Amino acid sequence: MRIPDSDRKEKQTNMASSFSGVLQLTDLDDYIGPSQECIKPVKVEKKPGKGAAKIRIEDDGSYFQVNQEGTSQKLEKAKITLNDCLACSGCVTSAETILITQQSHEELCRILRQNKTEAPSEHKLVVVSVSPQSRASLAARFNLSIQETAQKLTSFLKQLGVHHVCDITFSRNFSLLESQREFIQRFKSHKEEKKVLPMLASACPGWICYAEKTHGSFIIPYISSTKSPQQVMGSLVKSHFAQEKVTFYFIFS
């Protein structure tokens, strides 16, 4: 049975909307999204309003809601403890501009532009680490081979001013070897020690944070202590360029 194009597009749209912003390629600001809702929201008393309202930001950083009638009301800041926070970014608002700008593509572009105007001694060494998943997604999108995608992506980044482009596959091999060693060690000692098996592992920091925050001391002993490929690459880059005593800007993709 052939599905009409209109129905297929509607299903694809509904499916896409059910995923997080990380999977949407239309917005580069994919991780920190002010439109997301906090997964552990606090109870805030909402007063009934009429129609749309505007938000006014004062010089001191306070927020006021301006109704259509012209009346204004100061908005209270929602607070959540670190024990509850899962770093989902759902509570991020424009008040956290520093956090957003430091983690956005605008900051990367700013560093690249700054390097072009400053003296060579003041340049920040820009290092980009690309995951095989990102290359595979781009290859499928533009109908290219993995090798062609890697070459074109590296050339593009270096034209922008990036100094070094690293492949996370290199660090992933170290992470896999260390994971194997840890599993063998756990397997040999599981009869004498409790809470060593099963060994849970994930390269996603969001999953690790969620497991630690929601299950606490119960789940932590089962989580692998091996660094993720991103962490291994970060350690390698930092240890290497620390010897050269240069200031560098490191980004994962």
pLDDT in tens, the chain (253 residues): 444 444 544 444 444 444 443 434 444 444 444 444 555 555 555 555 555 667 777 777 677 777 777 777 777 766 655 565 665 555 554 444 555 555 667 778 888 888 888 887 777 888 888 888 888 998 998 998 998 999 998 998 888 888 888 888 888 889 899 999 999 988 888 878 777 788 888 877 778 777 877 777 788 888 888 888 888 888 888 888 777 666 656 666 5
Same domain, 119 and 218: yes
What is the pLDDT, as a whole number, of residue 9? 45
Beta bridge partners of 165: 128
Q: Domain residues for 110?
A: 104-253
Same domain, 162 and 239: yes
Same domain, 127 and 252: yes
In our burial notation (b when 16+ CB lie closer than 10 A, e otherwise), range 202-228 reads ebeeeebebbebeeeeebeebbbebbb
What is the pLDDT, as a whole number, of residue 13? 44
| Closest alpha carbon to 75 in 110, 45, 99, 116 | 45
Residue 160 C-alpha from the chain's centroid: 22
Residue 173 lies in a domain: yes
Residue 7 lies in a domain: no
| Residue 248 Cα distances to 103, 119, 186, 237, 244, angstroms | 15, 15, 38, 10, 10
Same domain, 163 and 209: yes
CA distance 235 to 247: 15
Phi, psi of 24 (to 5 degrees): -95, 120
Count of domains observed in the chain: 2
CA distance 223 to 212: 9
| Residue 196 Cα distances to 181, 213, 225, 247, angstroms | 14, 20, 11, 40
Handedness of CA 215, 219, 221, 225 (dihedral sign): negative
CA distance 157 to 118: 19
Which residues, in sequence order, are CB contacts of 186 under 8 Å at separation 6+? Answer: 196, 197, 199
Which contacts of 114-123 are long-range, i.e. CB under 8 A and separated by 24 or more positions?
Answer: 115/161, 116/161
Where residue 194 falls (left for φ over 0; alpha for ψ -120 to 50; beta otherwise) is beta
Domain end (from 101, 117, 142): 101
Residue 12 lies in a domain: no
Q: pTM for the full model?
A: 0.53
Same domain, 37 and 135: no
Same domain, 59 and 170: no
Domain end (from 101, 116, 140): 101
Place of tokens 């390097």: 115
What is the pLDDT, as a whole number, of residue 181? 92
Same domain, 95 and 122: no
Residue pair 95/218 in contact (Cβ under 8 Å)? The answer is no
Give the SS3 label for residue 130: strand
Residue pair 38/81 in contact (Cβ under 8 Å)? The answer is no
Same domain, 136 and 209: yes
Same domain, 120 and 167: yes
Residue 9 lies in a domain: no
Residue 30 lies in a domain: yes
Residue 136 lies in a domain: yes
Same domain, 123 and 62: no
Residue pair 161/112 in contact (Cβ under 8 Å)? The answer is yes
Same domain, 194 and 123: yes
What is the pLDDT, as a whole number, of residue 53? 67
Amino acid of residue 48: P
Same domain, 123 and 241: yes
